[in-house]
């Protein structure tokens, strides 16, 4: 006797809605419209002849029948996902989605990711840039390189590198000079501000300089734009050690002062705890640690 099953698309949509208790979140996870989600749920309810959700004013709730139906479906989809991962692992085939901020991707990860590809030659690697932390349960991101304080208790977190911050500029901004002898000499230059990291007053306070009118100058909310502005000779910027190592090495930027101050944030590899033991993640973690150590060795 054949299996009697509703349309599988409707089942998948219902399970996502039941897990999130949200039509919107389910639509985001499945990369479809909310209307499409509503249609599939209604289609399943009609096929079963029962109501699966109570539609409240601003929320939804599973009915008794809906809750009883959702639990085995979630278990079944979890088992299917695990079996798929095992097959891909055994075949040496893996789709790897790595998320991070624009600045980390542009200035550090993208120029190096080909090296990791050599460790995973059969993998399809995708880098996703975003300005928020991933919710691993509602998107296709596998791992994320984050910049922050490391306090993400519900995830597997490994510190990749600390960070130092110090003034940098284009060589053409200083002419024949390569160093500035007095921190107050900064008053002769336009300042470029990175609104996402640290203010100039923080560095000047550590350097013992005069607190100038530091509010003036160009302001950007992305570090990679700050770096490009400094390379273009538009002023003096506070450089972030991991992100500017290549530009210092190639001579596109110089550091006119010796003083470096520690950032309160660091770089971390973050992934769901249930993925932490996968072999490719361990390989990626070890590669990240080695690459970050090599980058930071530039300053040693």
Q: How far apart are alpha carbons 56 and 76 in whole angstroms?
A: 28
Mean pLDDT by 10 residues, the chain (300 residues): 80 92 87 85 93 90 93 90 70 76 94 86 85 81 94 93 94 85 85 83 84 75 92 94 94 93 94 86 90 83
Q: How far apart are alpha carbons 279 and 290 in whole angstroms?
A: 17
Q: How far apart are alpha carbons 243 and 36 in whole angstroms?
A: 42
Residue 288 has a pLDDT of 94
Q: How far apart are alpha carbons 204 and 214 in whole angstroms?
A: 10
Q: How far apart are alpha carbons 248 and 207 in whole angstroms?
A: 21
Chain centroid to Cα 247, Å, comes to 22
| Residues 104, 133 contacting (CB under 8 angstroms) | no
Q: How far apart are alpha carbons 190 and 208 in whole angstroms?
A: 19
| Residues 162, 264 contacting (CB under 8 angstroms) | no
263: three-class secondary structure by DSSP: coil
The CATH fold of domain 92-162+265-299: D-Maltodextrin-Binding Protein; domain 2 (3.40.190)
- Looking at the DSSP bridge assignments, the partners of residue 240 are 165
The 3-class secondary structure across 127-168, one letter per residue, is: EEECCCCCCCCCCCCCEEEEEECCCCCCEEEEEEECCEEEEE
The CATH fold of domain 8-88: Arc Repressor Mutant, subunit A (1.10.10)
Q: How far apart are alpha carbons 178 and 239 in whole angstroms?
A: 16
Helix (H), strand (E) counts: the chain:
11, 12
The pTM of this model reads: 0.68
- Output the six-digit token pair for 112: 């190096």
95: three-class secondary structure by DSSP: strand
| Sequence spans of domains, the chain | 8-88, 92-162+265-299, 164-262
Architecture of domain 164-262: 3-Layer(aba) Sandwich (3.40)
Q: How far apart are alpha carbons 125 and 113 in whole angstroms?
A: 9
- Output the six-digit token pair for 70: 């959702």
Q: How far apart are alpha carbons 298 and 249 in whole angstroms?
A: 8
Q: List the one residue out of 209, 178, 197, 208 whose CA is nearest residue 266.
A: 197
Q: How far apart are alpha carbons 285 and 270 in whole angstroms?
A: 10
Fold equal for 92-162+265-299 and 164-262: yes
């Amino acid at each position: 006797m054949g299996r009697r099953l509703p349309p599988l698309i409707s089942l998948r949509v219902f399970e996502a809605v039941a897990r999130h208790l949200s039509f919107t979140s389910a639509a985001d996870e499945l990369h479809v419209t909310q209307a499409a989600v509503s249609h599939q749920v209604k289609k399943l309810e009609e096929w079963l002849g029962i109501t699966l959700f109570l539609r409240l004013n601003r929320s939804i709730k599973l009915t008794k029948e809906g809750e009883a139906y959702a639990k085995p479906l979630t278990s079944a989809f979890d088992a299917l996902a695990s079996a798929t991962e095992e097959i891909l692992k055994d075949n040496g085939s893996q789709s790897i989605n790595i998320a991070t901020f624009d600045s980390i991707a542009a200035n550090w990860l993208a120029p190096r990711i080909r090296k990791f590809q050599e460790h995973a030659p059969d993998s399809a690697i995708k880098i996703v840039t975003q300005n928020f932390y991933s919710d691993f349960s509602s998107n296709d991101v596998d791992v994320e390189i984050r910049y922050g304080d490391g306090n993400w208790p519900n995830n597997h977190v490994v510190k990749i590198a600390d960070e130092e911050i110090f003034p940098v500029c284009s060589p053409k901004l200083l002419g024949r000079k390569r160093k500035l002898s007095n921190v107050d000499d900064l008053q002769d230059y336009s300042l470029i501000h990175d609104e996402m990291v640290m203010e100039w007053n923080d560095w000047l306070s550590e350097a013992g300089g005069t607190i100038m009118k530091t509010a003036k100058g160009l302001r950007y909310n992305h570090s990679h734009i700050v770096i490009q502005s400094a390379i273009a000779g538009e002023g003096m910027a506070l450089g972030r050690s991991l992100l500017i190592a290549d530009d210092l090495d190639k001579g596109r930027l110089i550091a006119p002062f010796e003083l470096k101050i520690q950032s309160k944030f660091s770089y971390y590899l973050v992934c769901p705890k249930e993925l932490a033991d996968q072999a490719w993640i361990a390989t990626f973690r070890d590669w990240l640690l080695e690459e970050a150590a090599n980058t930071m060795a530039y300053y040693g």
